[in-house]
């Protein structure tokens, strides 16, 4: 396997180079990424279609009855969450390992990914607890605080799997390294994540609206009245809707692991260059100013 520095995402990025790298990788590996995400979408959409929520039923239930009703859907939702984690790990494994060794096809990457699922699940549980607390604190300063807390949690989350897969599945090391890399170049990471989330939300909303058109005739019909909303819920169990939703998932889901790897390799490249120049500084005092490394692109940028 090639060294990690040979990965196409490994370099100090600007926002432009990050988007270009994602697009090049996406188009080059599109078929595999789409098929894995499409299969994931089919499975999850089918399971969620079995969860039938009748809005009218909840209008006449008291709180205890409502909680009992919700508990009926607990296991299907847990299964959906676990499957999402597994497919996310598979996509990350492919994005990280395939460019380093052509023998790492999707099937070998699936096998590799199982090594990381248990520690990933444990870290996600801890992140969910910490994230809930952060969101609560964010709500104390109303909308802006909650939005910032959400973006911050998302930024932390994006570093977890790349660090685990490149540096080993040690939970303690993953947590420490995640916090370290996420907070080094903090505002850059937060800003890039915010841009990424906005792009994904806009694209998903537009494409979701297009998927609903054959069934409702209008993207906003579900907003106008509760009866239309109930009709939309019924639509989600139709085979055509499940297939179209899975196709949407196939188009958008691969962007998440690619962007996560961009964040990680950008931080890793800058960190490696930082340590390299510290070694030079120790050997040749006064020749290198390590504090300038984040103020200018690395030499590798000039080569590209």
3-state helix/strand/coil string of 230-262: HHHHHHCCCHHHHHHHHHHHHHHCCHHHHHHHH
Candidate from 40-49, 82-91, 243-252 with smallest mean pLDDT? 40-49
* Predicted local confidence at residue 141, as pLDDT: 60
Tokens of 294: 């984040």
* Predicted local confidence at residue 223, as pLDDT: 46
Q: Which pLDDT band holds residue 49 (cuts at 50, 70, 90)?
A: confident
Q: Is 275's pLDDT higher than 60?
A: yes
Q: Is the torsion defined by CA of 186, 190, 192, 193 positive or negative?
A: positive
Q: Output DSSP code: residue 14.
A: P
Cα 274 to chain centroid distance, Å, stands at 27
Q: Is 92's pLDDT higher than 50?
A: yes
Cα 229 to chain centroid distance, Å, stands at 28
Entry pTM: 0.79
**258 and 5 in contact (C-beta within 8 Å)?**
no
Decide which of 232 and 31 is more confident. Answer: 31
User: Alpha-carbon distance 55 to 37, whole Å?
Assistant: 30
* Predicted local confidence at residue 7, as pLDDT: 92
* Predicted local confidence at residue 281, as pLDDT: 53
* Predicted local confidence at residue 189, as pLDDT: 93
Name the residue ranges covered by the structural domains of the chain: 4-303
User: Alpha-carbon distance 211 to 224, whole Å?
Assistant: 18
Q: Which pLDDT band holds residue 148 (cuts at 50, 70, 90)?
A: confident
Single out the residue of 274, 298, 263, 134 nearest to residue 188, CA to CA: 263
Q: Is 171's pLDDT higher than 60?
A: yes
Q: Is 53's pLDDT higher than 60?
A: no
Helix H segments across the chain?
A: 15-28, 30-49, 55-59, 63-71, 74-97, 106-140, 142-167, 171-183, 186-216, 221-224, 226-235, 239-252, 255-283, 299-303
Average pLDDT over residues 265-271: 92
User: Alpha-carbon distance 81 to 34, whole Å?
Assistant: 20
N-to-C CA span, the chain: 23
pLDDT digits (tens, 9 = 90+) for 202-216: 988 888 878 877 766
Q: Output DSSP code: residue 9.
A: T
pLDDT digits (tens, 9 = 90+) for 95-137: 999 999 888 999 999 999 999 999 999 999 888 888 777 766 6
* Predicted local confidence at residue 61, as pLDDT: 52
Say how many residues make up the chain: 304
* Predicted local confidence at residue 175, as pLDDT: 93
Q: Is 226's pLDDT higher than 90?
A: no
* Predicted local confidence at residue 68, as pLDDT: 66
Tokens of 145: 């605080």
Q: Is 143's pLDDT higher than 50?
A: yes
* Predicted local confidence at residue 233, as pLDDT: 58
């Amino acid at each position: 396997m090639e060294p990690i520095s040979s990965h196409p995402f490994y370099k100090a990025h600007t926002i432009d180079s990050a988007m270009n790298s994602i697009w090049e990788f996406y188009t080059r590996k599109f078929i595999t990424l789409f098929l894995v995400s499409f299969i994931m979408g089919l499975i999850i959409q089918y399971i969620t279609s079995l969860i039938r929520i009748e809005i009218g039923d909840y209008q006449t239930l008291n709180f205890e009855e409502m909680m009992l009703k919700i508990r009926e859907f607990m296991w299907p939702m847990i299964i959906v969450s676990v499957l999402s984690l597994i497919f996310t790990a598979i996509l990350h494994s492919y994005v990280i390992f395939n460019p380093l060794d052509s023998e790492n096809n999707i099937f070998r990457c699936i096998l590799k990914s199982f090594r990381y699922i248990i520690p990933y699940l444990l870290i996600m549980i801890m992140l969910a607890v910490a994230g809930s607390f952060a969101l609560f604190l964010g709500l104390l300063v109303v909308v802006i605080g909650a939005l910032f807390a959400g973006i911050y949690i998302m930024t932390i989350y994006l570093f977890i799997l790349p660090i685990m897969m490149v540096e080993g599945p040690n939970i303690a090391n993953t947590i420490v390294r995640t916090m370290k890399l996420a907070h080094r170049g903090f505002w850059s990471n937060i800003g890039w994540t915010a841009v990424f989330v906005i792009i994904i939300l806009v694209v998903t909303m537009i494409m979701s609206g297009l998927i609903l058109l054959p069934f409702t005739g209008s993207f906003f019909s579900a907003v106008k009245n509760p009866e239309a909303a109930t009709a939309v819920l019924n639509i989600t169990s139709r085979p055509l809707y499940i297939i179209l939703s899975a196709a949407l998932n196939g188009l958008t889901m691969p962007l998440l692991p690619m962007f996560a790897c961009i964040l990680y390799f950008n931080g890793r490249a800058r960190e490696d260059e930082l340590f390299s120049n510290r070694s030079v500084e120790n050997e040749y005092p006064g020749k290198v100013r390590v504090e300038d490394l984040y103020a200018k692109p690395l030499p590798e940028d000039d080569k590209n």
